[in-house]
Structure 1
Amino acid sequence: MRFAWPLIGRAQEIQAIEAAITAATPGVLICGSQGVGKTCTARAALEAAAERGCVTRWTAGTTSARNIPLGAFTSWAPTGVTDTLTLLRGVIDALVPAESSARVVLCVDDAHLLDDLSAFVVHQIVVRGAATVILTVRDGEPTPAAVGDIWAKTRFERIDIAPLSLDDTAQLLTEVLSGPVDPIAAQRLWKITGGNGLYLQNIVEREVADGRLVRQDRCWRWVGELVVPPGVVGLVESRIGALPPPVGEVIDVLAVGEPLQLGVLRRICDPEAIEEAETRGLISLEPSGAGVEVRLAHPLYGEVRRRRAPRSRLRRLRGVVATELGACSAPDDVRMVVRRAALSLESDLDPDADLLIRAAYGAVWLGELTLADRLAEAAAGSGAGPEPRFIRAHALSWSGRGAEAEAVFADIDTAALSDEERARFAFLRSSNALWALGAPEHAKALMDAQPEFTTSVGRAYRNAFLTVYWFATDQPQAAVQASETLTLQDIPVVGVEIAWALAQIAADVGRTADAVADAAVGHAVATRTLDAPQMRFNIADAEVSALLLAGRTADALGVAADTRRQAADLPGTARLLGDAVAGRAALGSGDLSSACSLLSRAADGLSDSHPDGWGYRYRIPQATALAISGRTDEAAVVLGDLTKIRRRFRMLDHEHSLARAWLAAGQGAISEAIATVRDAGERCRVKGQFAAEVLCLQTATQFGDRSGVTRLQELSAVTEGPRAGVAARFARAMAEGDAAALSTVSQDFESIGDLVAALDACCHAALAYRRQDLRGSALRCVARAAALADRCAAATPALRQASEPLPLTDREAEIVMLIAEGLSNREVAERLTLSVRTVESHIYRAMSKTGTSCRDELAALLARPARTQ
């Protein structure tokens, strides 16, 4: 299957070439490895030069023509000429005609393959200044002296084409496949191709044709294992070439065990063979800590060698590498323990149960859950007792494979467990039922069925589960009560989960300092527990919630940035969770473009393996970000998908209500939006979630509600952080119609980092100034609101009203916005719980006030401008 492959990620290089042409630089040398994009970059630069009026020429050196004199310029050679000097003069005159006043740009692709006479022609053109010359040269290829002299003796601008970055690769895949690509798939493709465009093109087209790269749920996903296309195999093998056996041994050892310290590799392979491999450009040596790390020069070298080598050879080499790593590495180096055990699984070494158990723990800690499952299964098969089954079930549960985890739990003989082991077993099994299986009643029944625990640690596990259970079922007071006797450091295996629950509870209540402290404890416990990588993101999410609810937006963005940096070092789901936390922080700050991008990418990927867990959790803020951005059709699809998911834990009530309210408001149903968030605020009040209540009432005020003054004033005294105080002043200014106070509140919201609230307060200030007939002040507020809207990419109802002032009541404006969304009079009546006759009366009065003659003209006055990605 063939796709169109645009040029991505080379804008800076093309601009540099264009600048060199404009400055009449003698030439540009474009260097890079095979397939990295030298030719495409040169062609794009040449096309740009032609569009500016330059005369352009293109030729290429080839292996077949390098032994033919003037082989690259036969198309410009005069016929019937045998004298060499006359022939050369004729070629140069044809390439750069004297009668042309336009600048000539000559591009020679693969210049290292030029014959001597062709090189002489290019050199003469450069020396005479007759044209700007662009040369592309492949790294690592021998270059004849005649060709090297072209740029060595003149002032050429050198540009090195680097492999595509991960972001550029993801963007390229999205454009080629006409749709978003699962971040994990994009990362896998980037890693295996090393950012090489030629390899990427071949592999993607083969994987799509074979049905392994497929579109699922609006997103392209890569399922199954890579099959390297024959064309890529041929390219790689031609690059590697025929190798002496000792050099082949170096490549194969790295193929199974890279990266390796140079000292380790020297103890396994012949040092002279290592030097030869480096000379051939097949391996790379890079400083790493106190030593030098050796890798294959390209990931596909290892892929191809592993597929060609006999299995017995690979098993032997894995055993050799694992043994050498064991002899030279520190016993507590988690990453090295995992590498040794992973190599041993497919080697000729005998199983080491202790190594496998330690490695399984380490793999969970590193976020390598699939590998943890394999290591734990191997340890269980070697008769290592119940511990590997605990690890395996845990890894399966976190991978979203709850039913498989339950099968492992069901196979454990609890009669042989100690009291502490039984308590831990009960916690892990009940937690799997709660989170992975989504069955809270069954989860509690599993714990309740356990006989009384006889040790303090056993009882702590029971209370720990009850803390999590009450938190998950939206009963925060009961969760806090269950946690009162717990010391998290005493139960590190589950302490991180408790810290997350307590941090989120404190966040919703408005005890920001407690939430941050709980998060800090959780992170400290996470450094020595099984749950660390995944729970770190839950804790970060809770801390970001606390800071955003408090109005400490800059601090929330800092936590999110740190979390995303940590995620970059972890595989798979971790990166998606890092994006998700960063997306929530971006949403809270009003950076809606980033929020939509990050949350959409994260939610798409997380919904694949955790549809009712992390996928559900991050679809909600994704819908909110889309709705505030004016992309209400997309937001409606996301929220519609959520209604199809049967989630029975942690309903995220106030966040879900905010998303639905922003959608309703964006569709014009302002009174419905206000009612939705006010009802959510009341539920928060009942549960003691006062900071969440503040945000609900603030949002209602942004929609135009004027009834929250008293309650927000009360809440400002019981919640930490600046948000409640600013929201209370906002509500009072709205209730009193105080335009100047609204303008000040807008600045206050901007100072705490909530740009969307700042925008809405500014819009309400403009409307209040208009009602006072202070047009100059109103215009200044409108101008500031427009600037804020540009910064945050928002399209809120308040902005629409302020930007398009109409002599309508709030109810009339609401009805006009709904008919602008395409609703019939009957549908408007049902949406607002009015009679059809009342709706018709409002429409009639609105038409009279605005001078419109029909329903369509009236709707056009408040039509929502379309926003796209």
Structure 2
Amino acid sequence: MWPFVGRVRELEDVMSALTSADAKGAALVGPAGVGKTRLADEAVARLEQSGCTVRRCYATVATSSIPFGALAAMLPADMRTANPLGRAVEHLVAEPQPLAIVVDDAHLLDDASIALLHHVIRHGFARVLVTSRPGERAELWQEGLLRRYPLGDLSRAESDLLLERALDGPVDTRSAALLWSGSAGNPLYLRELVVSGRAVGALRVAEGIWSWHGAIELGGRLGELVQENLGRLEPSHRHALELLAYSEPVELDLLASLVQEEALDDLETRSLIRVESSGRRTVVRLGHPLYGSLLRATCPALRAQSHQRALAAGLEATGARRREDLMRIATWRLDGGSPISLDLLAAAAEQAWAARDVTLAERLCRAAVDAGGLVQVGHVFGQVLMYGRAPDQAEATLADVMTGPLSTADLSRLGATRSMNLHFGLGDADAAAAMLDAVDVPDLPEELRDWLKVVRTLEDAQHRHVAEVLESTYQPVAPQLSIHMRRTRALCLLQAGRYREVEVEVAACEALAAGDESPDDYGTMRMRCFALAYSGRLAAAESLALKLHDSLFDDLAFTGTTSVYSVLSFCARMRGHGAQALRLAREGRPNSSVSPLMFDTIGLVGLASAAALCGDGALATEALARAKKSRRPAWRLTGTTVSVARAWVLAGVGDVHAAADAAMAAADECAELGLHSGEAMALHDAARFGVDTSLRLAALTSTMDDPMTSAYAAHATALAHTAPTVLEATATDFLRLGATLYAAEALASAARLHRAQDNPRAASQASARQALLMRDFDGARTPALRVDGLTHLTRRQVEVARLATSGLTNQQIAEKLHTSKRTVDNHLHAIYGVLGVTGRDELRTALGPS
């Protein structure tokens, strides 16, 4: 049996309906596979533990036409009387009391069984719990006999937790998102995906982490379940569903023009399709993602091509007015075997790249190249190859196409793309600048000349002093290009540690993008993630990063996912969740066989830092070496992250003095480039490793007014002044931000200083607060978190202490922990002795916020 996850509120409600004085029972109502039976299992277990007699039966299609067929196992063998209902009730009343009757799939009950349950419920002979599909045989709750509890799919968080518990280990973020997307939160589908994935080797474990490899394939029991839920389909219904399988989400008007209207009505009634609003459109989706997988797998090839040709023709007939329409038409024409023009391929490739659909953009570019259109798609193809980790191939392709007969404008456009590949792909700043100079010739169209300005500024943002580049972002460009300058400005502000201004620029970029009906700008969203994380808004950073990850997880070719993993790993480190940070960093690390890009440096330093936090010196050293090797002169600002991470690695292997020197060197390197965000982190690390950086950090707070940098400065100042009470206050500040790791370090330092100042009671209190925080840590180790002298409460004492400070009485604590009040009294007496306090008020003061 799979673990029981979520549904806590639903279980409590059901138990109340089954056990309260005035209740008669409950009906769990929901579609197939949402976990109605699993929830009923938990309810049955609780009922039996309470001493209740439970009789359980299962309704089936086979018994639905047999009187009392579903309930036969609980009724007497001799029902040949003039009053079978009375005989059945007489037999049930003879059962030991209290009695509960549980019926699975009550929508398949026969009329006689329904009548018997009505009688039992009305006269209170037994409590009744049934599971049922919605909209079928609903008499038991529509007449008020049972309380109805709708049961839906699991949330994303519940799905992830169920996976982790079922597999007895963590699942990588992308695979969890893939399984969530495939199952849509349906527990039965999720279980069958896991079972089939393990059976065929698609779901396997490496380094203690489960991951899914390849696409989701429907087979075995999973395919049977999906087919069973689809049921028997009329030809018109199958036609509509197959069209939708190749197009969802698709506009209702387009689909309605290709199928019978009655078919859509029937399919919506059966919940096989969903009609919903999307902006100003009404779109149609399949009722479940796996329906599409099955329909595409079982659709004959010629019919599939016919469907896609029909979709392309239908969309073209509407005028193809939306920005994504060209991508859809081009894809359907390619898959349908229809002729397609070079102009359409080139325009669709540009749209796909703008939407960051790297896989589709590459496919469209290659189709255009095969048709002799390299010139038309060269500027897109070069970027696709670069982000696809093939910068050498991108350089060769662009160099080749630029040797042909081209207009000045085409040459400049291709030259700009080639310059970006030289800079961001190959890391050659001089060659990139020379390329821009070569194509920046007189008489260029104004918009193209402005584009060259944008590219030059963007490249400078990784190479020159932050303040200089920030100033250049204000140079005037064509209105349609202003969004690019603002993105670069946001990046400079992020580097300068002016996080509030980053938010202003990101919001402005989003407003410009929305006005142009552009796709979500992943670049600005990533900058917002980093700004939120670095300024101390960890929860908001994690939430946005997960949202961004889920929008990118199905396209691994997009290297922006590396940055997303870096944000998530950073937040986990700040919380002291070392194992989680390491898992996330491992997921985001680049493959050692590919050419490193700028993003890869960020991923590798995150891996090095997470491994160092977990005490894995070998992995930390290896990752740092790879990060150092990936540095390029063109990526000076990103390269500083390698220097910052070096301090973490040295501290992780126990060389704290070298770590302090490395942190100071990294701070100086960042300061030289105006990179105050990195400088603040490095100075704080140096303070943690024993260097007095309080004055420099205090100076930074004059321009960096975020709470995290202020906490850094307060921490460094308290350490420099050996002020334990200030350290405790700083710990509270870090806790408010979610930076539990630094809070625990501050408390550890406070405890040591209290002892040195001959204040054992205060030392014990600080040490106990530290111990409470570190109970939630997962493999985190730093030099400041020495275990020697740390006052450890037992796990049960920690539970008692937390409950006591929450306001519960000793009796309430005993009931919650299923123990006696005397035991709680003894635990609190021991806790007071360890901490040197005399009551709950002092305990609350000693432990502080938890």
TM-score exceeds 0.5: yes
CA contact under 8 A between 1:285 and 1:294: conserved in structure 2? yes
SS in 1 for 2:257: helix
SS in 1 for 2:378: helix
1:260 aligned partner, one-letter code: V
2:91 and 2:641 mapped to 1: Cα distance? 71
Alignment match, 2:831? none
Q: CA deviation at 1:490?
A: 3.6
1:694 aligned partner, one-letter code: A
Unaligned runs of 5+ in 1: 807-869
2:19 aligned partner, one-letter code: T
2:701 and 2:88 mapped to 1: Cα distance? 83
Alignment match, 2:389? 400
CA contact under 8 A between 1:749 and 1:757: conserved in structure 2? yes
CA contact under 8 A between 2:585 and 2:606: conserved in structure 1? no
Alignment match, 1:388? 377
1:495 and 1:292 mapped to 2: Cα distance? 33
Q: CA deviation at 1:60?
A: 0.4
CA contact under 8 A between 1:59 and 1:107: conserved in structure 2? yes
SS in 1 for 2:217: coil
CA contact under 8 A between 1:702 and 1:761: conserved in structure 2? no
2:565 equivalent to 1:580: yes
Moved more, 484-493 or 446-455: 484-493
Alignment match, 1:268? 258
- Spell out, residue by residue over 1:550-595, the C-alpha distance to the aligned partner (whole angstroms, 9 max, x if none): xx434x765765565566555635795685365267358x4444x9
SS in 1 for 2:70: helix
Identity of aligned residues (%): 27
2:359 equivalent to 1:370: yes
2:625 equivalent to 1:643: yes
Alignment match, 2:660? 674
Counterpart of 1:317 (choices 307, 320, 324) is 307
SS in 2 for 1:28: strand
Moved more, 687-696 or 156-165: 687-696
2:164 equivalent to 1:174: yes
1:499 and 1:344 mapped to 2: Cα distance? 37
Unaligned runs of 5+ in 2: 793-850
Please show how residues 182-261 of structure 1 align to structure 2 within 5 Å: 182-215=172-205, 219-261=209-251
Alignment match, 2:52? 54
Moved more, 318-327 or 507-516: 507-516
1:376 aligned partner, one-letter code: C
TM-score by length of 1: 0.76
SS in 2 for 1:697: helix
SS in 2 for 1:63: coil
1:558 and 1:111 mapped to 2: Cα distance? 44
Q: CA deviation at 1:334?
A: 1.9
Please show how residues 215-614 of structure 1 align to structure 2 within 5 Å: 215=205, 219-290=209-280, 292-328=282-318, 331=321, 333-347=322-336, 349-382=338-371, 384=373, 386-402=375-391, 404-406=393-395, 408-436=397-425, 439-441=426-428, 444-445=430-431, 448=434, 451=438, 453-455=440-442, 472=462, 475-477=463-465, 490=477, 503-504=490-491, 506-510=493-497, 533-540=521-528, 543-544=531-532, 548=534, 552-554=535-537, 561=543, 565=547, 569=551, 572=554, 576=561, 579-580=564-565, 583=568, 586=571, 590-593=574-577, 597=580, 600-601=583-584, 603-605=586-588, 607=590, 614=599
- Spell out, residue by residue over 1:152-204, the C-alpha distance to the aligned partner (whole angstroms, 9 max, x if none): 33431222221233333333333444444343333333333333333333344
- Spell out, residue by residue over 1:437-469, the C-alpha distance to the aligned partner (whole angstroms, 9 max, x if none): xx324x744664784642377887777666666
1:529 and 1:433 mapped to 2: Cα distance? 30
CA contact under 8 A between 2:563 and 2:599: conserved in structure 1? no
- Judging changes above 3 Å, is the alpha-carbon distance between structure 1 residues 598 and 137 closer, same or farther for their aligned structure 2 residues? farther
* C-alpha RMSD of matched pairs (Å): 4.3
1:696 aligned partner, one-letter code: A
Q: CA deviation at 1:295?
A: 2.5
SS in 1 for 2:295: helix
CA contact under 8 A between 1:583 and 1:598: conserved in structure 2? yes
Alignment match, 1:21? 18
SS in 2 for 1:105: strand
CA contact under 8 A between 1:660 and 1:676: conserved in structure 2? yes
CA contact under 8 A between 2:605 and 2:623: conserved in structure 1? no
Q: CA deviation at 1:388?
A: 1.8
- Judging changes above 3 Å, is the alpha-carbon distance between structure 1 residues 714 and 317 closer, same or farther for their aligned structure 2 residues? closer
Please show how residues 123-142 of structure 1 align to structure 2 within 5 Å: 123-139=118-134, 142=136
1:176 and 1:805 mapped to 2: Cα distance? 35
SS in 2 for 1:294: strand
Alignment match, 2:682? 696
2:131 aligned partner, one-letter code: T
- Judging changes above 3 Å, is the alpha-carbon distance between structure 1 residues 295 and 715 closer, same or farther for their aligned structure 2 residues? closer
- Spell out, residue by residue over 1:583-632, the C-alpha distance to the aligned partner (whole angstroms, 9 max, x if none): 267358x4444x9647744750564699765455245346546755xx33
2:33 aligned partner, one-letter code: G
2:378 and 2:279 mapped to 1: Cα distance? 36
1:283 and 1:529 mapped to 2: Cα distance? 27
Counterpart of 1:115 (choices 110, 119, 124) is 110
1:186 and 1:471 mapped to 2: Cα distance? 35
2:347 and 2:5 mapped to 1: Cα distance? 44
Q: CA deviation at 1:27?
A: 1.6
- Spell out, residue by residue over 1:787-815, the C-alpha distance to the aligned partner (whole angstroms, 9 max, x if none): 66578887654454696389xxxxxxxxx
- Judging changes above 3 Å, is the alpha-carbon distance between structure 1 residues 180 and 484 closer, same or farther for their aligned structure 2 residues? same
- Judging changes above 3 Å, is the alpha-carbon distance between structure 1 residues 673 and 117 closer, same or farther for their aligned structure 2 residues? same
2:675 and 2:271 mapped to 1: Cα distance? 62
CA contact under 8 A between 2:389 and 2:597: conserved in structure 1? no
- Judging changes above 3 Å, is the alpha-carbon distance between structure 1 residues 273 and 392 closer, same or farther for their aligned structure 2 residues? same
Q: CA deviation at 1:61?
A: 1.0
Report how many aligned residue pairs link the two structures: 776
CA contact under 8 A between 1:619 and 1:638: conserved in structure 2? no
- Judging changes above 3 Å, is the alpha-carbon distance between structure 1 residues 434 and 204 closer, same or farther for their aligned structure 2 residues? farther
2:284 and 2:226 mapped to 1: Cα distance? 19
TM-score by length of 2: 0.78
Alignment match, 1:72? 70
Moved more, 365-374 or 572-581: 572-581
- Judging changes above 3 Å, is the alpha-carbon distance between structure 1 residues 156 and 403 closer, same or farther for their aligned structure 2 residues? farther
1:45 and 1:578 mapped to 2: Cα distance? 44
Q: CA deviation at 1:109?
A: 1.0
- Spell out, residue by residue over 1:22-69, the C-alpha distance to the aligned partner (whole angstroms, 9 max, x if none): 325212111222233222222232123223333222210122233333
2:279 and 2:700 mapped to 1: Cα distance? 53
1:586 aligned partner, one-letter code: C
SS in 2 for 1:106: strand
- Judging changes above 3 Å, is the alpha-carbon distance between structure 1 residues 788 and 60 closer, same or farther for their aligned structure 2 residues? closer
2:254 and 2:453 mapped to 1: Cα distance? 49
CA contact under 8 A between 1:397 and 1:432: conserved in structure 2? yes
